[in-house]
Chains A and B, each alone.
Chain A
Amino acid sequence: MDLDFSVITDHARFLASGVGVTLLLAAVSGVTSLAAGLVVALLRLYGPPWLRPIIVLYIDSMRAIPVLVVLIWTFFALPILTGLTMPPFFAALIGLTVHLAAYAAEIVRAGIESIRPGQTRAAAALGMSRAQAVRRIILPQAIVRTLPAFGSLLSVTIKDTAIASVIAVPELMRQSETIAGQSFQPIEVYTFAMLLYFLMLFPVTRGVDRFYRRVAHLGRS
């Protein structure tokens, strides 16, 4: 088997733009799904009772449907329903956020529920309102405790951006497919793409673990 990796250097800028889109999509959808997940979890725990079954249905549905299906539905079917066409990047952002926010919400909920109820009562006894107790006592500890889970969610987010290639988002996976198709050298291109993804993903999981070990004491009570 003769491998010729000059195809990589020839298309270095094209691949680099793919890495850029992958990182951008992962960063933006990471932030939006974290924010949405926090809101969903708070609504589930402290919101009106009639909202709870709806939120549980949403979360469990996202655990049941593949992210590929969510992305394809958002890109191809949603515009028919709404009459608005979306650029692929935007559709991917919406699809990934809707999907990952459910997982983020479950992580936040587990973190909040791990804080003993005695702390909320103690905060109330000190004269805090419920909102104050959540903001100043519960969330700061819960966020630290959930860091490892959010680390793996971030790595899932980066991996899931590769699925956005099926709706033609020009991220690394899509760019690799294009080059592999043009150059007829899929082995070199996909093997190099593997290396790039590994280099993006491995430091994330390791970095979050190390960061968590430094701040873990802040979450203990």
Chain B
Amino acid sequence: MTVMSPVTKYVGKDLTRLEDRRLITGHGTFIGDIRLAGLADICFVRSVWPHARIRGLDTQQARCAPGVIGVLTGADLADVTLPFTRQFYSAIDPVLVSEYGLTIRPYRAPVLADDRVLRVGEPMAMVVAADRYLAEDAAELVDIDAEPLPALTDPFEAMQPGAETLHAEVPGNVHAEFTVEVGDPDEAMTRADRRLRRRFRIRRSIGSPIETRGVIAHFEAPTEQLTVWSNTQTPHVLRSYLSEMLQLREDAIRVIKPDMGGSFGGGIYPEEVAVAAAAVLLRRPVRWLEDRQEDLVNARHSRDQWYDVQVGYLLDGTLTALDADIVADSGAYNPFNVTLTFNAASHLRNQFDIENLRVHARHVLTNKQPLTPVRGAGRTEATFVMDRLIDMIAADVGLDPAEIRQRNLIPAAAMPKDMGMYYRNGKLLVYDSGDYPAQLQAALDAIGYADFREEQAQARRAGRLLGIGISSHVEGSGYGPHEGAAVRIDGSGNVTVLCGSSPQGQGHETVLAQVCADVLDVPPEQILVRTGDTALLPYGGGTFGSRSAVTAGNAVHLAAARLRDRIIEIAGEVLDSDPAQLVLQDGRVVDAAQPGKSLTFAQLSEAAAPASGLTALPGLEATAYFVPPTVTFASGTHIAVVEVDPDLASVTVLRYVVVDECGTVLNPMIVEGQQHGGVAHGIGNALLEEACYDESGQFTTATFLDYLLPGAAEVPDIQVLHQSFPSPLNPLGVKGTGEGGATSSPAAVVNAVADAVRPLRPELTELPLSPVRLFTALREARGAETARGPTRPDKEP
């Protein structure tokens, strides 16, 4: 395996992004910008019932409305597509079944609902019309005969005996379940000096990129070629779904991902299959551009878990045992099965040396939108739980949280640390590299933790409540199974990189060019990187779960290295040079022993053409697939300083420090940008974002004035420091960094709030910490304090 040279020319530099030019001039091509002759617009007719039996759909009036080309129902689609029942990344490693009793039950999921609907927003029919305005007009004319049924909106009620069963195959509504056990948690809990029990509630949130979803499909009947454009994170996976469901040969399908306005989770959607099916049925290009109201209801949601946790510890704050029961309100379908909760179980112990763990998790079906892993993906939830517990333990034993953390962090000498369980991929969970105590210290130094207490005291005297909060996390990144890349030199002597990744703003056109540039010694500006198109490579993984720096980066590195070998082989023949003497230098191949002898890439390309008399194989292209041995563990420590106004119950985040450890840093500017964006997302989760259903199952936050994303005034400046422990698990030594920002931020912010309002100890166990929740928690804490009797002379909040 080729190892990165420690001295790199392009990797590690802040290269300005190559994709910027078209984006800053408004010439990006997003899904809504693609023009095709004869393109018709689709509007989905969606359920207004959380749960109902559908007796009939009358599309007659809609079909006669102005500009309508057709109205398709589930019955129409059944002619061309199978149901939508396949599970994502459904390969379940048998070790999870044998070790943890992992159970996943099947269910039937339609593309368009037919005889019943299981959630508000479930798509039932498609109006295809000349434009979206007319399609929406006609959609209102579809008449649905529905018999509303009681809706399950509470997962605990859904698990009760006698509760309605949503899917016949899942009696009791527990779709997926496992129990992880490490060590002997019961024994360790009994041995602990003290135990703390809490329930944590992380409410439902939405990935909500600024661009909504969109799909264009064009089926050319004469050649039976289907082209689908979709702002998907996984084009190859989408192609494989379409092939299976539409029963078309895989090679007859091309999935193209255009420029993409962000994406933070999602998966493959029934709408994508429906639009493709409509193209096949109608034999004309069709387009669905989702609007924001649709997206808030129908893009998959996330988080929405309860954690009933008990933690055992000694009087000096040493953690001994952790026992958690997780319930995930998983909505009407659960295509991601246990990804969220297994991530939570895998990351719950955080950076701490806890040898005894039990996590029991259940995904419960209800009449809501299903869940997907969204930025942070179970780790955010687990980190919130663990780090709030640390804070509570600190208060209980009378020590500073920083001290509790230092006491429990896995020391550098103990790395790599086998955590005694299997990861979701069936491999042993091992924290492969890092120095967590040094990371914490770096964060404490950067925020000025020691001086803060004096600042805090002064502020109190002036009537201001400031607080400081710490959170750390680990992140298993670079998930497999693989990623692919091809690197080629074309007839003009230019380098092109083809990659199976599917970036949504992470700068792959730049970063992957930097990786390739280091191997071939060509300036990155001259390297064209193409991604997100199934025509580029036969296999591709996509971009999600902080995987692309690891998988795409290394695939490009390996492919470029193979190409370099080919270049040297061919150049050696052409120049009649000893291959061992050939080096790549500024876009040329040079004979180090005879500097007069060299070839430009253009000359090489000519020489490498077939029929040019080479004994070596023709062509200047190499392909490589990187198969990560397992995930590699990145980590981070965050510290937030907040101000609380106890009367308004407002929280302002004033200062923020991130120490991020992601191994080799490919482009520092891009890594920091990912941290900034992740922290902003986490601040949103901490204080603002909440996707709500009422008791009857109606969705109540379907506008951007109800579902609140943080704006520029809600996010402070974020100082990012790098720590670097190159991963031993890949040639570049990289680890993922896309989600760390969103993983520790809710915990850091809420811990800071808890610190600001001491000596009051409000129960801050819920996200988001809205003003009403904070207000109520403070009032209850004051009540509890009064009951205990005031003892402190300090000014009380």
Q: Are A and B bound to each other?
A: no
Binding site for A on B (CB under 8 A): none
Binding site for B on A (CB under 8 A): none
